Amino acid sequence: MKIGVITKGIGGFYYIDTGEDVYECRARGKFRLEKITPLVGDIADIEVDDRQGYILNIHPRTNEMIRPAIANVDQVMMVFAAKSPDINMSLLQKFLLYAEYVRIKIIVCINKIDLDENQDYKAVVEMLSTVPYSVILTSTKQQIGIEELKAALKNKTTVFAGPSGAGKSSLLNLVQTGLVLKTGDLSKKIDRGTHTTRHAELINLEIGGRVADTPGFTSLELLNNIEAEKLQLLFPEFEQHTNCKFSRCLHDTEPQCGVKAALHEGYISKIRYEYYISLLKELKEIRRY
């Protein structure tokens, strides 16, 4: 028996990287009976004979994403351009929320900072300074931040995501020559994917670790899955300021609210708080009906 990572799955065949070799395998029938679908990123026990490899067991997952379908991701590298195109704050906020929901570490990469003569991107950096996310500033043209990017990717399994034109492929080509991901775009039309392929694939990095080539993120809408009382859990900056008068405080109109006090004192971003309130109102409306 061998242990490996599923790096690709197409047409019922799964490709398992054991570190020594890559084996083409099929899943045993028990997975279908138990309604378990092997995912790219799964750690699997396999049995290999002369003709065919078989997946015997899937190890427990640390996390799981639906679209793209991938498991055991260490982190998401969220790439936005400082300019051309401008940072889409709505898309950034939605993705931060989604990554918190699936419990995956977030790194925000702001690329093309050389194009932003007014350094408007610093407003985004300031907003994120109140949140426990790493921020990497890069420029492929001037090769700024590339070593920091490499260090963040080393020995990790990373999903790259971001809007089209943010420079994901250019950044990765500086990390490893010839490494160009086909997809990973976040569509402005969140609910409708712009790509025909639905297959994710893990690609090994020479520095150690893997990056996921995914068909993009086509479903970031979460409101149907979240209770109003639990929305605050997706805003990690609230956690240390929940010394509210009421134990079930929603940090909205309640008096003596620790989160609102932290907001007024500058410990919580006004942009982030306003986004939270807008989502909270939507959730309350959904619950009414």
Specify the pairing of strand 64-65 against strand 70-71.
Answer: antiparallel
- Percentage of the chain beyond pLDDT 90 is 66
Q: What is the pLDDT of residue 218?
A: 57
- Res. 5 pLDDT band, cuts 50 70 90: very high
Prediction pTM value: 0.86
Mean pLDDT within 228-251: 95
Q: What is the pLDDT of residue 200?
A: 80
List the structure tokens of 278: 């807008």
- Res. 67 pLDDT band, cuts 50 70 90: confident
Given a cut of 70, whether residue 164 has pLDDT beyond it is yes
Class of domain 223-288: mainly alpha
Q: What is the pLDDT of residue 216?
A: 62
Q: What is the DSSP letter of 252?
A: S
Strand partners for 110: 80, 137
> Domain spanning 2-58 has what CATH number?
2.40.50.140
The string of pLDDT tens digits covering residues 86-132 is: 998 988 998 899 889 989 999 999 999 999 999 999 999 999 999 99
- Res. 226 pLDDT band, cuts 50 70 90: confident
- Res. 161 pLDDT band, cuts 50 70 90: confident
Fold held by 64-213: Rossmann fold (3.40.50)
Domain residue extents for the chain: 2-58, 64-213, 223-288
Q: Are 92 and 80 in contact (CB under 8 A)?
A: yes
The string of pLDDT tens digits covering residues 13-29 is: 999 999 999 999 999 88
Q: Is 110 helix (H, G, I), strand (E, B) or coil?
A: strand
Q: Is the peptide bond before 68 cis (omega within 30 degrees of 0)?
A: yes
